[in-house]
């Protein structure tokens, strides 16, 4: 069998954990399997790199940021190869260049386009464990790129898809996917299985246990994932197309604090105003999430929308630059907001999920600032300080506990 195993930062945070992971991989190798291991940077090293960069330049160029980021993953794979060698197993570390992990050119948020498998196959044929840096790629300018925070999961799934691996195992610091972040919602329950679609929504809406693009890619290429603990032998959660979910109304609750609300107040109420605003944002490559337009009054209207906190400054900047075209009375930005969502395929055929969500927030005295829904989710924007309370309230209201 060809197995791709991915270990996150906490799983390789120190020497003991590195050896623990090394032994886990060697076990599969000794059983005769081909083993590819994808690693993240040790512990919170990527965060430390962000701090170091901002200390030098509060708005560092994205290209240089990626150049800096890649050292984190490179350190992990090199040390792991040394650990495996110390344990008498031949292993080799490869970075994105050595593999040739081709991505789009956008720094900080690149997408994997193509992976050359020759070098990896060659090393596997030599009976080596192949250790590959997660999170990083190379673009057409021969520069390093990164896939977005948490992107090592995506590297693992992309490798599993490209090499037709038999298994793709994501090892992390929790023993599976829960109905909500178990660190926030103490009563959260571990799921044995979850569908790609539900996991994709949860991941996109803030459940950081998997990078959302990894789920997107797993669905596209039919790569079945298992998410499990690197520290225990617990079974974990399987992510696949048709999961036999206990047919719950809602399968999970997620929150995203990396959110800001921008309100453009007093725009002229005529055709083309919304187009002008969102066209400007799209051209500046800014992802807009929730959108709310007020009813027109006195020939004016307001449009509010959310963006990630990281892109709020850029959004404000382009709006300011296009002041003449948009001509708003004023622009406001609120950064202390968070999105809380409930997700579940069950809500497609059951009315009343939104009402239940709003009722539980009302009972907890939490004010809703914005609402958006899809067939399988309800999202509300609230004050950031209420996030944990809202998550627990929703988790209780939908009966997700054990």
Note the residues at the interface with ligand ADP (CB under 6 A). Answer: 8-11, 40, 150, 172-174, 177-178, 180-183, 207-209, 252
Closest separation in Å from C-beta 44 to ligand ASP:
8
By the rule CB under 6 A, 40 interacts with ligand ASP: yes
By the rule CB under 6 A, 169 interacts with ligand ASP: no
By the rule CB under 6 A, 20 interacts with ligand ASP: no
Q: How far is CA 336 from the centre of its chain?
A: 20
By the rule CB under 6 A, 137 interacts with ligand ASP: no
Nearer of residues 151 and 328 to ligand ASP, judged by Cβ: 151
By the rule CB under 6 A, 72 interacts with ligand ASP: yes
SS in 3 state form for 113-154? EEECCHHHHHHHHCCCEEEEECCEEECCCCCEEECCCCCHHH
Nearer of residues 112 and 326 to ligand ADP, judged by Cβ: 112
Residue pair 367/340 in contact by the 8 Å Cβ criterion: no
DSSP state at residue 235: -
Closest separation in Å from C-beta 83 to ligand ADP:
18
Closest separation in Å from C-beta 150 to ligand ASP:
5
Nearer of residues 40 and 306 to ligand ASP, judged by Cβ: 40
Size of the residue set binding ligand ASP (CB under 6 A): 12
Residue 273 DSSP SS3? helix
* Residue 156 binds which entry of ligand ADP, ligand ASP, Mg ion, none, CB below 5-8 Å type-dependent: none
C-alpha span between 102 and 105 (Å, rounded)? 9
Give the CA distances from residue 300 to residues 279, 329, 363, in Å, rounded to whole numbers and listed in that order.
Answer: 19, 9, 35
Q: Residues 143 to 162: which contact Mg ion by CB under 5 A?
A: 150
Four-CA torsion 95, 98, 99, 100, nearest 10 degrees: 110
Q: How far is CA 195 from the centre of its chain?
A: 16
Torsional sign, CA 5, 8, 9, 14: negative
Single residue of 12, 21, 36, 41 touching ligand ASP by CB under 6 A: 41
Closest separation in Å from C-beta 400 to ligand ADP:
11
Nearer of residues 72 and 346 to ligand ASP, judged by Cβ: 72
* Residue 96 binds which entry of ligand ASP, Mg ion, ligand ADP, none, CB below 5-8 Å type-dependent: none
Give the residue among 188, 213, 191, 190 at the shortest CA–CA distance from 200: 213
Say if residue 73 is exposed, middle or buried (CB neighbours under 10 Å; 0-12, 13-18, 19+). Answer: buried
C-alpha span between 395 and 384 (Å, rounded)? 17
By the rule CB under 6 A, 151 interacts with ligand ASP: yes
Nearer of residues 150 and 236 to Mg ion, judged by Cβ: 150
C-alpha span between 402 and 397 (Å, rounded)? 13
Closest separation in Å from C-beta 380 to ligand ASP:
27
Please report which helix (H) or strand (E) contains residue 395, including its range: helix 387-397
Closest separation in Å from C-beta 133 to ligand ASP:
10
Report the interface residues with ligand ASP, using CB under 6 A: 8-9, 40-41, 46, 72, 134-135, 149-152
Report the interface residues with Mg ion, using CB under 5 A: 8, 150
């Amino acid at each position: 069998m060809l197995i791709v195993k991915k270990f996150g930062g906490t799983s390789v945070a120190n020497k003991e954990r590195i050896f623990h992971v090394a032994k886990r991989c060697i076990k599969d190798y000794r059983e005769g399997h081909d083993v590819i291991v994808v690693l993240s940077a040790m512990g919170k090293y990527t965060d430390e790199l962000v701090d170091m960069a901002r200390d030098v330049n509060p708005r560092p160029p994205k290209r240089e940021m990626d150049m800096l980021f890649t050292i984190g993953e490179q350190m992990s794979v090199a040390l792991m190869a040394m650990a495996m060698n110390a344990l008498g197993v031949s292993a080799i570390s490869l970075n994105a260049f050595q593999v040739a992990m081709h991505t789009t050119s956008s720094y900080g948020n690149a997408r994997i386009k193509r992976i050359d498998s020759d070098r990896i196959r060659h090393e596997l044929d030599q009976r080596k464990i192949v250790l590959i840096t997660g999170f990083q790629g190379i673009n057409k300018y021969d520069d390093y790129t990164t896939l977005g925070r948490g992107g090592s999961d995506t590297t693992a799934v992309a490798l599993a898809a490209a090499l037709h691996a038999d298994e793709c195992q994501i090892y992390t610091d929790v023993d599976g996917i829960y109905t909500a972040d178990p660190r926030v919602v103490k009563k959260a329950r571990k799921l044995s299985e979850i569908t790609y679609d539900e996991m994709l929504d949860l991941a996109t809406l803030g459940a950081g246990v998997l990078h959302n693009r990894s789920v997107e890619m797993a669905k596209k290429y039919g790569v079945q994932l298992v998410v499990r603990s690197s520290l225990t032998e617990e079974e974990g959660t399987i992510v696949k197309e048709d999961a036999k979910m206990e047919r719950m109304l809602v399968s999970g609750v997620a929150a995203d604090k990396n959110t800001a609300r921008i309100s453009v107040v007093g725009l002229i109420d005529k055709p083309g105003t919304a187009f002008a605003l969102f066209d400007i944002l799209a051209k500046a490559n800014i992802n807009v999430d929730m959108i709310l337009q007020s009813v027109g009054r006195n020939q004016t209207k307001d449009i509010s929308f959310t963006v990630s906190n990281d892109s709020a400054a850029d959004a404000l900047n382009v709006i300011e630059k296009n002041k003449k075209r948009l001509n708003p009375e004023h622009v406001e930005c609120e950064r202390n907001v968070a999105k809380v969502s409930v997700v579940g395929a069950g809500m497609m055929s059951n009315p009343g999920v939104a009402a239940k969500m709003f009722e539980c927030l009302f009972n907890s005295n939490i004010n809703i600032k914005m609402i958006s829904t899809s067939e399988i989710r309800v999202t509300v924007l609230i004050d950031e300080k209420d996030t944990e309370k809202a998550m627990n309230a929703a988790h209780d209201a939908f009966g997700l506990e054990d």
